[in-house]
Amino acid sequence: MMPKRQSPIWHPFTQHALQDQMTRIVRGDGAYLHTADGRRIIDAISSWWVVTHGHCHPHIVSAIQEQAGKLNQIIFAGYTHEPAEEVAALLLKLAPRGLDYVFFSDSGSASVEVALKMALGYWHNIGRQRIRIVVMQHSYHGDTIGAMSVGARGVLNAAYGPLLFDVTSIPFPAKGLEQATLDALESACRNEIPAAFIVEPLILGAGGMLMYPTWVLREMKRICEASDVLFIADEVMTGWGRTGTLFACEQADVTPDIVCYSKGLTGGALPLAVTLCRADIFDAHYSKDRTRTFFHSSSYTANPVACAAAKANLSLWRNQETYARLASVAAMQEKQIEPFRADARFRNVRRMGTITALELKVRDEGYLANIGPKLQAFFNDRRLLLRPLGNTIYVMPPYSVTAADLNEIYAAINDAADALWRPEWTGHT
Ligand SMILES: *Cc1c(COP(=O)(O)O)cnc(C)c1O
């Protein structure tokens, strides 16, 4: 018999039989969350990678308040509004040069679906049969059917596997094995004549914060360009400063043909996403023939309040102080992670920009590793919001985080290893 639950809410990525008590949050400010029972929690993962400048940033909050009383929803087919126009114009100024059009949606998964539909629509409308998508091993692009299809297959989507469309996967460019990735991409592009290659630039997020160098990103773009394969960058997580620059692609000097931004687009205040593309992708849909229309919409496309929040966020990214803050968080993160590089209890100790990650050596690994929930409970007791991916612990704080906050976070990581690590777990005592 199922026990009577306190709440009718079904939470995401939550096994209610193992965790039925949710922490009730009443308020957020900067890097902190405040619970109903009066505790203060440090949000060390930016509330699932979305909060960039801190919770309830006053500039973003006042933009939302002002817009909410003016125009809070409008059909976006046949109508437009100032916040959307400004966001689109500012995005094209800040994004890599060569992108010309902006399509709005409301989540990272939707922005990926839009990217895939743009790519397929492009080939369809110019009269060439290209439908195959090339992907990278360990990728994550969202939880809708199309986004899952281009993401890693495994425990997260086993139940839906038969329904997912078939893709060609190239290996992750692990250290020393980069050439194998490039060779696999080159051969997929040559032999399969794919429509597009989709990839998370520089860091694979949900796949375990796996990092690869900028030259590999640059080479992958070059290979796609040489074989006329559309290059889709999923910057849903890597965007908005996480990798140390506003967008990851700028580090490799790469302009994708299509790029997805979401998560930090509103600073983490409201749901919004965009898919940017090159002019020829738009042009392939531009016709007096209505069958060539881009048939995609969601009810809340370019919601004016969400756009006002994005506009406020974009104005922060035109301010040098934001970049100085970013550099300072990256430097503080490096200082904290450095001692762990020589620590035998961990491996793959790494950092890119403001993100650090490391793996606790255990015998049982992977997303469902039993150590995951144990670590999370340990951190929860220390008043920290950290949510390890299996045995991979990562820190992705809002940029308002202080040195003192980071001291607490890394002291807890060290103590967690003391409390939970046993030499016999590594298989060699
Ligand atoms: C989170 C994420 C998504 C999905 O975004 P949602 O807003 O959760 O739908 C897609 N791609 C990447 C790389 C992500 O990290």
Check pLDDT > 60 for residue 428: no
pLDDT score recorded for residue 427? 53
Ligand 1 atom nearest the C-alpha of 147 is 10
The CATH number given to 320-426 is: 3.90.1150.10
Q: Find the 151 Cα to ligand 1 centroid distance in Å.
A: 11
The CATH number given to 59-316 is: 3.40.640.10
Mean pLDDT of 279-303: 97
Residue type, 136: M
N-term to C-term CA, the chain: 43
Ligand 1 atom nearest the C-alpha of 144 is 9
Hey, whose CA ends up nearest to atom 6 of ligand 1? Answer: 108
Check pLDDT > 90 for residue 366: no
pLDDT digits (tens, 9 = 90+) for 15-37: 999 888 999 999 999 999 999 99
Mean pLDDT of 385-401: 96
Evaluate whether 32 touches 40 at the Cβ level (below 8 Å).
yes
Closest Cα partner for 232 from 184, 281, 272?
A: 281
At CA 77, angle to CA 71 and CA 80, rounded to 5?
40
Q: Find the 267 Cα to ligand 1 centroid distance in Å.
A: 15
- The domains of the chain are located at 59-316, 320-426
- Tokens at residue 116, please? 């895939």
Check pLDDT > 90 for residue 372: no
Check pLDDT > 50 for residue 14: yes
Check pLDDT > 90 for residue 224: yes
Hey, whose CA ends up nearest to atom 10 of ligand 1? Answer: 141
Evaluate whether 189 touches 223 at the Cβ level (below 8 Å).
yes
Candidate of 52, 107, 109 to mutate for ligand 1, largest count of ligand atoms within 8 Å of Cβ: 109
**Strands laid side by side in the 101-105 sheet:** 101-105, 273-277, 258-261, 230-234, 196-199, 133-136, 168-170
Candidate of 198, 209, 262 to mutate for ligand 1, largest count of ligand atoms within 8 Å of Cβ: 262
Residue 102 main-chain phi, psi, to 5 deg: -125, 125
Q: Find the 287 Cα to ligand 1 centroid distance in Å.
A: 32
Which amino acids bring their CB within 6 angstroms of ligand 1? 107-109, 112, 140-142, 200, 205-206, 234, 236-237, 262
Ligand 1 atom nearest the C-alpha of 237 is 15
Residue type, 386: L
pLDDT score recorded for residue 429? 40
pLDDT score recorded for residue 23? 95
pLDDT score recorded for residue 426? 59
Which pLDDT band, with edges at 50, 70 and 90, does 287 fall under? Answer: very high
Q: What is the mean pLDDT of the chain?
A: 95
Rounded CA-CA distance 245/396 in Å is 15
Rounded CA-CA distance 118/160 in Å is 24
Q: Find the 252 Cα to ligand 1 centroid distance in Å.
A: 22
Q: Find the 103 Cα to ligand 1 centroid distance in Å.
A: 17
